Structure 1
Amino acid sequence: MRILVVCGAGASSTFVAQRVRHAAQAAGRELSAVAGTEQSLPIDIDAADVVLVGPHLQSSLDRIRREAAARPARVILLPPDIYSDLHGTRTLALVDEALAASTELPASTERNPA
């Protein structure tokens, strides 16, 4: 899995990306997490499965989702207190929850229609 963490200038996203990489490594999971900026998003998003958006970019969330819509990337707005997740485990859990929710289909939807 490839995670892109987006913030305004790249500083806070660097910390989040580093912490989620460490959490994944400690859990024996293989993933990449890189930092990006709102300006680099059009280029960086092509290499991402998940885009974590810093809480201060909430006003840009709709535009970011539109950019991601043409790609398989899942966009997740991080909560305001995410920077207190010093070990990255909570951030990794948010990614897992969002991915699990995006793969769930309503009961009336067939997974493999004949």
Structure 2
Amino acid sequence: MRIIVICGAGASSTFVATRLARAADAAGVDLDVSACPLASLPHEVGSADAILLGAHMGAAEAEVRTVAEAHHVHVSALPADIARDRDGSRTLALVRDEIPGSAPAESAR
């Protein structure tokens, strides 16, 4: 499953994406996670299965959902305190709980 983490410039999303990828790897979950600035969304959305939207991107949420919907890509908004998820486990649980086709959180190793 390919997941794109979106933020304004791609900086904060890089931290979330890196932590999520490490947590997924540690749990044996096959995820391809990358960070993407909002401006690159039209070029990246077609290859994504899901988008995680940075909490500070609320003003762009409707736009992101419209673009994603046209490509049948699921969007989940990240909580405001996601930066405190230092090991990515909370983000991985969010992915498992909210994104269709991913494993439920209780199946984590």
Do both share a fold (TM > 0.5)? yes
Task: Work out the number of aligned pairs and report it.
Answer: 101
Greater radius of gyration (CA): 1
**Is the partner of 1:65 in helix, strand or coil?**
helix
Distance 2:95 2:72 in 1: 15
What does residue range 10-89 of structure 1 map to in structure 2 within 5 Å? 10-89=10-89
Provide TM-score, normalisation by structure 2.
0.88
Identical pairs, percent: 47
Q: Please, which runs of 5 or more residues in structure 1 have no aligned partner? A: 101-114
Paired AA for residue 18 in structure 1: T
Q: Provide the alpha-carbon RMSD of the alignment.
A: 1.3
Greater fraction helix: 2
Give the equivalent residue in structure 2 for 1:98.
98
Q: Is the 8 A contact 2:76 2:99 kept in 1?
A: no
Q: Offset at 1:72?
A: 2.3
**Is the partner of 2:28 in helix, strand or coil?**
coil
Distance 1:69 1:18 in 2: 25
